């Protein structure tokens, strides 16, 4: 039995998978806010409760909104700031009395879709998170690529390529730089771009709905978004050349992206054709927790 945990900023979710991928159990609780010790105890409590209910012991994989530094074992780059600088894996291993595997939540998303999701036939898969932030994960032959610095796939903190007049001024990013892909392509980034051009405050879902009803300003916002996404993903394709790009996060629900992205990427890809497929996630919001379970192959 594999236990996967998605440790998010607002909720902690656990799922138990059988060897064939069948879901045996799923539970969810609120994440203790700003309290590292309480978070560790909550994760351990979910594991113990799941094992008690199912009557068996399982392997434990955890997806986190950050990364574990290779040299120190401490958490870095985490949106849940109470995790930063903490030895999360070591503390959980001590509590649970077994080895625990950690991975970035975008890596877990990508792994889930590569193992038994939309990209199960792909040799190289790039998993994209387009949500409150922008992240990515790389899976090669169903193995997550972590990288020497544990940041493989973090395309959201590259600068948006091919800046144009309507990309200015470059928005500030929480990482301390300006013009990061995340500042344009996250949900808040899309909303902020619409506000800059129209003075109107709308969430991404409202912008999409109004564009579908013929609102020209909202349609222009989505066309700017798609062009920027095409530029950014073309850079990924030029370096990684994945068979499949799976989109996740809230903005991945915009079906027009799957129709328009091949054409949007094509002018910037160093190839006469673009064979990379753009696909929605088979497991949707469940991909993160399933991918955490699949950290044990």
pTM above 0.95, yes or no: no
* 135 and 276 assigned to the same domain: yes
Domain match, 148 and 36 both? no
Task: Give a yes or no: residue 78 inside a domain.
Answer: yes
Is residue 174 located within the same domain as residue 269?
Answer: yes
Claim to verify: residue 101 and residue 189 sit in the same structural domain: no
| Statement to judge: residues 272 and 147 lie in one domain | yes
Q: Are residues 90 and 214 in the same domain?
A: no
Question: 214 with 252, same domain?
Answer: yes
Domain CATH for 76: 3.30.420.40
Alpha-carbon distance of 266 to 230, in angstroms, equals: 8
Per-residue model confidence as pLDDT tens digits over 157-210: 999 999 999 999 999 998 899 999 999 999 999 999 999 999 999 999 999 999
Q: Is the pLDDT of residue 80 over 90?
A: no
Tell me, yes or no, whether 148 and 98 share the same domain.
no
Given a cut of 80, whether residue 83 has pLDDT beyond it is: yes
Confidence band of 9 (pLDDT split at 50, 70, 90): confident
Shared-domain flag, residues 104 and 126: no
Q: Is residue 113 part of a domain?
A: no
For 102, list phi and psi in degrees, rounded to 5. -115, 150
> Would you place residue 151 in the very low, low, confident or very high pLDDT band (cuts 50, 70, 90)?
very high
Do 252 and 129 belong together in one domain?
Answer: yes
Domain that holds residue 132: 118-281
Number of domains in the chain: 2
Which tens digits make up the pLDDT trace of 16-39?
A: 999 888 999 999 999 999 999 999
Say if residue 96 is in the same domain as residue 136. no
- Inter-axis angle of helices 204-212 and 187-198, to 10 degrees? 60
The per-residue pLDDT for range 235-268, each reduced to its tens digit, is: 999 999 999 999 999 999 999 999 999 999 999 9
């Amino acid at each position: 039995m594999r236990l996967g945990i998605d440790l998010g900023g607002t909720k902690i979710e656990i799922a138990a998978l059988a060897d064939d991928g069948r879901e045996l159990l799923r539970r969810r609780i609120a994440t203790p806010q700003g309290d590292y010790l309480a978070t560790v105890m909550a994760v351990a409590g979910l594991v113990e409760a799941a094992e008690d209910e199912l009557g068996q012991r399982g392997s434990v994989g955890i997806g986190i909104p950050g990364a574990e530094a290779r040299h120190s074992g401490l958490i870095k780059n985490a949106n849940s700031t109470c995790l930063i600088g903490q030895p999360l894996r070591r503390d959980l291993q001590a509590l649970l009395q077994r080895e625990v595997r950690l991975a970035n939540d975008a890596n877990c998303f990508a792994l889930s879709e590569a193992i038994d999701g939309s990209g199960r036939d792909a040799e190289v898969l790039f998993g994209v998170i387009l949500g409150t932030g922008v992240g990515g994960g790389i899976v090669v032959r169903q193995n997550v690529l972590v990288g020497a610095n544990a940041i493989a796939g973090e395309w959201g903190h590259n600068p948006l390529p091919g800046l144009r007049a309507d990309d200015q001024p470059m928005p500030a990013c929480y990482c301390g730089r300006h013009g990061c892909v995340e500042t344009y392509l996250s949900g808040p980034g899309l909303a902020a771009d619409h506000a800059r051009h129209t003075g109107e405050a709308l969430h991404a879902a409202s912008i999409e709905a109004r564009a579908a009803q013929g609102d020209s300003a909202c349609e222009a916002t989505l066309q700017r978004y798609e062009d920027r996404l095409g530029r950014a993903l073309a850079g990924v394709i030029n370096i990684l050349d994945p068979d499949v790009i799976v989109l996740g996060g809230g903005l991945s629900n915009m079906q027009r992206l799957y129709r328009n992205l091949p054409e949007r990427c094509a002018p910037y890809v160093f190839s006469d054709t673009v064979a990379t497929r753009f696909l929605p996630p088979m497991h949707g919001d469940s991909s993160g927790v399933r991918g955490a379970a699949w950290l044990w192959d």
